[in-house]
Amino acid sequence: MRRSLRARLVATTGALVFGSIVAVALVSSWAGRREFRRFEKIVVSDAGHTTTTEQFLHEAPPSGREAAFAGALNRGLVGGAAACAGGALLLTLLFSRRIFGPIEALTRAARAMAAGDREARVDVRSADEVGELGKAFNAMSEAVGTSERLRRRLIGDVAHELRTPLATIEGYTEGLLDGVVAPSAETWALLHDEAGRLRRLVQELQELSRAEARQLPLQLRPCPPAELIDQAVRRIASQFAEQGVTLTTDIPAELPPVQADADRIIQVLINLLGNALRYTPAGGSVQMRVERQHGAVAFHVADTGIGIATEHLPHLFERFYRVDKARSRALGGSGIGLTISRAIVEVHDGQIWAASNGTGQGATFSFTLPIALPGSA
Ligand code: ADP
């Protein structure tokens, strides 16, 4: 059961107040009796004869009685208050140790993290608010560690991706300088291709970083799905014809408009259609299908190509993940097209996923976009 710090604070204050009342009552009653007995002795000795207190009180002037009573009461109360203060101090010390101990541990861990220790964690022992704070700190520390690992991996991946085209360009230019490679049209075309690959990579990386930081300026408006598909297909149809792959579309007539930035979604469609074409041999086919789902429209790009083994499916949208690195590179892929597509779909509040029955069984890439609400233009 979660023990709330607030409840404990209220309980402790209650205990203190109750304890104080009991302590005052006990101490003042004890001190009162003692004072009274002391007073009785004084009365006896002062009188020099055996006058009882009762007699004295009856005989003594009213001011003397008042002073005696006030003195006894005062001493009782002061004694009771002192006992209370002592108890309160002890309880506060114990309680503050329990609160400030974990807070000090948190401060130490935060300082360690700021100094670069990404493994800094706190030992969470309580289930109260301070415990929750500790858990939140550990989750944050874990997230910072993960993003640090991803950042390091990204730098490694980028360096690796740049190395291949740069090595080719360097090798060919050296060959040209030494006269080993002939300055033929073929050589220039190859150098041009590699430079183009580098430019695409840099461009895609820039886009990826903007998309992942959710800094893509989106111009959302209601878009008819058929219009988006039409534009994407028009731009890529000639490449399908060139490579002998059939492209068909299946778009129901009554589809609601989706809330989207048309240019970005066309970019996603071209990426998925381009991949389908890249991984489908001549003679195969690709179908672009759309359907209405609950609150969304789903776009599917299904091909009859090389397919994807199940173990690769969860990783396809990771940066630089390729099932077959050499094949993707040879076909001009950068390995981040799907990562950008996912970022674009997600900033639209949509979802993207891949399905395949395995190698040689073709693949289907799908994504959803929310239906535009009436009046959201
Ligand atoms: P690439 O530029 O390498 O195509 P992507 O991010 O677009 O990079 O795709 C990542 C990987 O997913 C590809 O390298 C490929 O292995 C796999 N892939 C993507 N689309 C398909 C498809 N339609 N059929 C088979 N494999 C695919």
- End residue of a domain, out of 90, 117, 144: 117
Question: Helices (DSSP H) in 179-214: which residue ranges?
Answer: 185-212
CA pair distance 232, 82, nearest whole angstrom: 85
**Residue 170 shares a structural domain with residue 55:** no
Place of tokens 């990826």: 208
CA 54 to each of CA 37, 48, 67, 120: distance values in angstroms, whole numbers, following the listed order:
12, 16, 16, 75
Q: CATH code at 290?
A: 3.30.565.10
**122 falls within a domain:** no
**173 falls within a domain:** yes
CA of 360 to the centre of ligand 1 (A): 14
**Residue 343 shares a structural domain with residue 205:** no
**228 falls within a domain:** yes
Distance of CA 319 to the CA centre of its chain: 19
**Residue 52 shares a structural domain with residue 169:** no
CA of 327 to the centre of ligand 1 (A): 10
Our mutation pick for probing the ligand 1 site, out of 157, 319, 328, counting the most ligand atoms within 8 A of Cβ, is: 328
Please list, in sequence order, all residues whose beta carbon lies within 8 angstroms of the beta carbon of residue 290, skipping any fewer than 6 positions away.
225, 226, 229, 250, 251, 252, 255, 297, 298, 299, 300
**Residue 229 shares a structural domain with residue 282:** yes
CA of 335 to the centre of ligand 1 (A): 7
Residue with the nearest Cα to atom 14 of ligand 1? Answer: 322
**Residue 350 shares a structural domain with residue 245:** yes
**123 falls within a domain:** no
Answer whether 323 contacts ligand 1 (Cβ < 6 A): yes
For residue 322, the ligand 1 atom closest to its alpha carbon is 14
The reported pLDDT for the residue numbered 124 is 84
Answer whether 264 contacts ligand 1 (Cβ < 6 A): no
Q: CATH code at 143?
A: 1.10.287.130
**Dihedral-angle region of residue 72 (phi above 0 means left; psi in -120 to 50 means alpha; beta otherwise):** alpha
Answer whether 141 contacts ligand 1 (Cβ < 6 A): no
- End residue of a domain, out of 152, 183, 212: 212
**Residue 345 shares a structural domain with residue 246:** yes
- Concatenating the DSSP letter of every residue in 119-144 gives T--------SHHHHHHHHHHHHHHHH
**343 falls within a domain:** yes
**Residue 257 shares a structural domain with residue 344:** yes
Mapped onto helix, strand or coil, the DSSP state of residue 308 is: coil
Q: The pTM is what? A: 0.67
pLDDT tens, per residue, the chain with 377 residues: 456 777 777 887 888 788 778 877 787 777 767 766 766 666 666 556 655 556 656 665 666 667 767 777 777 778 778 877 888 888 788 877 777 888 888 999 999 999 988 888 998 888 888 888 999 999 999 999 888 887 888 888 888 888 888 999 999 999 999 999 899 999 999 999 899 989 988 988 888 888 877 777 889 999 999 999 999 999 999 999 999 999 999 999 889 999 999 999 999 999 999 999 999 999 999 999 999 998 899 999 999 999 999 999 999 998 888 888 777 777 767 788 999 999 999 999 999 999 999 999 999 999 999 999 876 65
**124 falls within a domain:** no
**Residue 310 shares a structural domain with residue 332:** yes
**15 falls within a domain:** yes
**Residue 246 shares a structural domain with residue 287:** yes
Which domain, by its residues, includes 108? Answer: 5-117
CA of 152 to the centre of ligand 1 (A): 23
Answer whether 306 contacts ligand 1 (Cβ < 6 A): yes
**375 falls within a domain:** no
CA 121 to each of CA 116, 126, 161, 261, 313: distance values in angstroms, whole numbers, following the listed order:
13, 15, 35, 42, 33
**Residue 227 shares a structural domain with residue 354:** yes
Residue with the nearest Cα to atom 2 of ligand 1? Answer: 333
The reported pLDDT for the residue numbered 1 is 45
Residue 259: strand pairing partners: 222
Answer whether 109 contacts ligand 1 (Cβ < 6 A): no
**Residue 52 shares a structural domain with residue 78:** yes
The reported pLDDT for the residue numbered 241 is 96
Our mutation pick for probing the ligand 1 site, out of 338, 357, 361, 366, counting the most ligand atoms within 8 A of Cβ, is: 338
CA of 251 to the centre of ligand 1 (A): 25
**Residue 70 shares a structural domain with residue 152:** no
Number of domains in the chain: 3
Neighbours of 201 (CB within 10 A): 18
